[in-house]
């Protein structure tokens, strides 16, 4: 059966839909038994959010609209009180929650502080120790320096670092202090070792001969004549500093010692065997005599080339002059002498004389004719 509403009642129904009420909510008051004023109070209660249970006391057509209004306003005031109470509860909960969070933060900060304090205390009281194998070490000139070779032991724990000394220059004769550093995050210790860089290598002497033979009375022994050089890895060329032991020409055989000392006191020696022999007998002047030519005295004031051989005699070159037969040209003592005699036989009279240099060493023969 279709329900009929007055215009005023229908307006209340339409207002309910306009204000967002659902069909079920509108059905609470879409009853012709409610007048338009009662409908309005029910609609307002629904729009305020009250449910059917809360409005049960005035969902009755017998209740005047004034009583409905009073009851609705009472519900509204009650809800306001409830909301205020709920607000206070929420505020109290927030306050309690904030207090809890604050307490947690304080506990966390305190725990971190205790941890850091313990950590700092532990680091400050951590024992650091370096033990070196020796307080001083000697290195050869030019040798490599490996600092870890001289560490006996050291503290090897978390956050502990050993810092080794820098490289040192061993190309200088000197003493160097090297520092070992051991540290953690808050403190450190050091140990010092002295490094002596020394030169213990003697110079090197090089001789041009191991043995030499000299003619007594004709050749003098010159020390530097048989010295090639003397070198030292630190001081360099020491050739001019080399000294020789004295020589005794009366001895047929002896040893001459060459020696030199570098700035570090390292001494080098080399030995040279020296032999002295007596000089050979004087060379006999060989004079060619032509048996077919009568002998005539030679005028020493006139050159021999002015004399002419007699007619009918064998031709002999009697011009005067000289000729050298040097060992540097490939001759030796024997071949040079034989060549001199062979060349001199082409002249009337000649002589072969040994030649020596400033040091008394034989260097060839000179033919005089």
- For 29-38, the pLDDT digits (tens) are 888 999 999 9
Mean pLDDT, residues 131-157:
93
Structure tokens, 58:
């005035």
Residue 103 is predicted with a pLDDT of 92
Residue 299 is predicted with a pLDDT of 41
Task: Indicate whether 256 pLDDT > 90.
Answer: yes
Residue 319 is predicted with a pLDDT of 73
Summarised one tens digit per residue, pLDDT across range 48-61 is: 888 888 888 778 89
Residue spans of the domains in the chain: they are 1-125, 130-198, 204-277, 286-368
Task: Indicate whether 88 pLDDT > 70.
Answer: no
Task: Indicate whether 326 pLDDT > 90.
Answer: yes
Contact 75, 50 (CB under 8 A): yes
Residue 128 is predicted with a pLDDT of 92
Strand partners, 229: 206
CA distance linking residue 9 with residue 36, whole number of Å: 5
Residue 313 is predicted with a pLDDT of 44
CA distance linking residue 51 with residue 121, whole number of Å: 68
Task: Indicate whether 90 pLDDT > 60.
Answer: yes
Fold equal for 130-198 and 204-277: yes
Residue 276 burial (C-beta neighbours within 10 Å; 0-12, 13-18, 19+): buried
CATH level 3 topology of 204-277: Immunoglobulin-like (2.60.40)
Burial 126-152 (b: 16+ CB within 10 A, else e): beeebebeeeebeeebeeebebeebbe
Residue 197 is predicted with a pLDDT of 94
Domain 130-198: give its CATH architecture.
Sandwich (2.60)
Going by pLDDT thresholds of 50, 70 and 90, the confidence category of residue 238 is very high
DSSP 7: H
Residue 42 burial (C-beta neighbours within 10 Å; 0-12, 13-18, 19+): buried
Task: Indicate whether 348 pLDDT > 90.
Answer: no
What mean pLDDT is reported for the chain? Answer: 84
Residue 317 is predicted with a pLDDT of 58
């Amino acid at each position: 059966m279709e329900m009929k509403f007055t215009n005023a009642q229908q307006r209340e129904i339409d207002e309910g839909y306009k204000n967002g009420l659902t069909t079920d909510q509108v059905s609470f008051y879409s009853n012709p038994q409610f007048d338009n004023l009662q409908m309005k109070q029910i609609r307002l209660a629904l729009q305020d959010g009250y449910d059917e249970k809360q409005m049960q006391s005035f969902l009755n057509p017998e209740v005047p609209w004034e009583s409905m209004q009073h009851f609705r306003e009472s519900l509204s005031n009650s809800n306001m009180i409830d909301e205020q109470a709920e607000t206070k509860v929420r505020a109290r909960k927030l306050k309690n929650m904030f207090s809890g969070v604050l307490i947690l933060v304080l506990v966390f900060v305190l725990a971190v502080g205790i941890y850091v304090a313990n950590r700092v205390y532990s680091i400050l009281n951590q024992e650091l120790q370096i033990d070196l194998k020796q307080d001083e070490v000697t290195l050869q000139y030019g040798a490599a320096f490996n600092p870890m070779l001289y560490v006996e032991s050291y503290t090897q724990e978390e956050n502990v670092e050993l810092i080794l000394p820098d490289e040192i220059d061993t190309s200088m004769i000197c003493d160097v202090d090297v520092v070992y550093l051991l540290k953690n995050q808050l403190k450190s210790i050091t140990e010092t070792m002295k490094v002596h860089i020394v030169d213990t290598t003697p110079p090197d002497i090089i001789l041009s001969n191991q043995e030499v033979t000299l003619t007594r009375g004709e050749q003098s022994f010159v020390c530097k004549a048989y010295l090639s050089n003397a070198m030292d890895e630190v001081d360099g060329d020491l050739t001019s500093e080399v000294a020789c032991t004295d020589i005794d020409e009366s001895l047929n055989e002896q040893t001459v010692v060459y020696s030199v000392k570098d700035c570090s006191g390292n001494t080098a020696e080399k030995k040279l065997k020296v032999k002295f022999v007596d000089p050979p007998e004087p060379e006999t002047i060989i004079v060619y005599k032509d048996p077919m030519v009568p002998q005539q005295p030679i005028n020493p004031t006139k050159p021999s080339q002015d004399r002419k051989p007699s007619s009918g005699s064998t031709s002999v070159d009697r011009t005067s002059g000289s000729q050298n037969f040097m060992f540097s040209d490939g001759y030796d003592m024997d071949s040079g002498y034989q060549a001199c005699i062979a060349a001199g036989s082409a002249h009337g009279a000649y002589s072969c004389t040994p030649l020596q240099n400033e040091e008394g060493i034989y260097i060839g023969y000179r033919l005089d004719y």
